[in-house]
Amino acid sequence: MKNLGFILFVTLLAMISCNSNYSEKKTKPEFVLVIHGGAGTILRENLSPEKEEAYLNKLNEALLAGENILKTGGSSLDAITEAILIMENSPLFNAGKGAVFSEEGIVEMDASIMDGRSTEAGAVAGVHTIKNPILAARAVMENSKHVLLTGDGADSFASKQGLEIVDSSYFFTEDRWKSYKKAKAENEIKKYGTVGAVALDSYGNLAAGTSTGGMTYKMKGRVGDSPIIGAGTYADNNTCAVSATGHGEFFIRNVVAYDISALMKYKELPLKEAADYVILDKLKNIGGSGGIIAVDHEGNYTMTFNTPGMYRGVVTSSGLIDVKIFGETEK
């Protein structure tokens, strides 16, 4: 009986061990797309049910647009571009149509994109007339010898590339104008969101993109982290793809997007651990507010932020689709 009991005990341990090993094995998803629409003081009491529904619907629309590309064998670059276009074309987000106004009462938009396969990148900053800055950033990457174009030069390049150029009146929205007038009256710059997307496609390639109108009542010529490769955007097939949102000056000084990738590469930290350290520890301790979305080469993803909320969503090949606005940092 003692021998039988011992045999049963050993068998049980073996079964537990097998089950544990099995549960730790994770099948790499065929594709993952993660998006954000900005982080900040986003509180439920400040958002009407109608406005909350509008944000959730638009986030879902952006996710589904990217998913349709990925599930039919499209590239991560195409998927993030399409998702960002949906948000740039919506007045809900601070990018494209919903861009905020600078101190001069005009829009000065920034965007960047990066290909994790080649680590090629493109960006534009301080543009005024390009309907979709993310397309201009991609054109810089694919059709020029440069990485970053600014101001009138970037606008002119986009026009020559056949991208849609619009009159400045296109970007006017009543809500953004009211915010501008309030900030001007108070003589105070207001931080206001960004949009971005990261993806892993079925070929194992990563990509990241970010687009923004910057800060309300910002100084003429101010450029934040969104068009700065390594600060607001970064992608490398060997590590991860990252898009950031928050107080850009802090993200530039701390090279946030690249820092997460570097921690994975040189310290071999898992994606979430690297992101948590940078956003919840390093950045927060010096007063930097904001968050990131990221996906690694194995399909792990995180949406990490140190603010009350972040417009965010994820869709994967396993059928997961989820959008959120409020809440604590993802765990």
* Token pair for 111: 């965007």
In-domain check, residue 1? no
163-172 pLDDT, tens digit per residue, is 999 999 999 9
**Catalytic pick among 194, 233, 239, 245:** 194
Nearest CA-CA partner of 60 in 244, 312, 291, 242: 312
Q: What is the mean pLDDT of residues 181-195?
A: 92
Give the residue, 3 or 106, on which the prediction is more confident.
Answer: 106
What pLDDT is recorded for position 143?
Answer: 98
Give the residue, 9 or 45, on which the prediction is more confident.
Answer: 45
> What is the CB neighbour count within 10 angstroms for residue 33?
33
CA angle, 149 as apex, 145 and 154 as ends, to 5°?
A: 110
> Residue 328: pLDDT band by 50, 70, 90 thresholds?
low
In-domain check, residue 313? yes
Cα-flanking dihedrals φ and ψ of residue 172, to 5°? -75, 125
Active-site residue 239, yes or no? Answer: no
The domain of 246 spans: 28-326
In-domain check, residue 122? yes
Q: Is the pTM higher than 0.75? A: yes
In-domain check, residue 259? yes
In-domain check, residue 21? no
Q: DSSP letter at 328?
A: S
Cα-flanking dihedrals φ and ψ of residue 260, to 5°? -65, -45
Return the top range by mean pLDDT from 39-43, 129-133, 187-191.
129-133
Q: What is the mean pLDDT of residues 151-174?
A: 97
pLDDT exceeds cutoff 90 at 331: no
β pairing state of 148-150 and 121-127: parallel
In-domain check, residue 123? yes
> What is the CB neighbour count within 10 angstroms for residue 116?
28
Q: What sign does the CA torsion over 276, 280, 286, 292 have?
A: positive
Amino acid at 157: F
CB 71 within 8 A of CB 189: no
CATH of the domain at 300: 3.60.20.30
73-87 pLDDT, tens digit per residue, is 999 999 999 999 999
What pLDDT is recorded for position 278?
Answer: 98
In-domain check, residue 186? yes
The CA R_g of the chain, rounded to the nearest whole Å, is 21
> Residue 285: pLDDT band by 50, 70, 90 thresholds?
very high
In-domain check, residue 12? no
For the chain, how many structural domains are there in total?
1
Q: Which residues pair with 34 in a beta bridge?
A: 198, 314
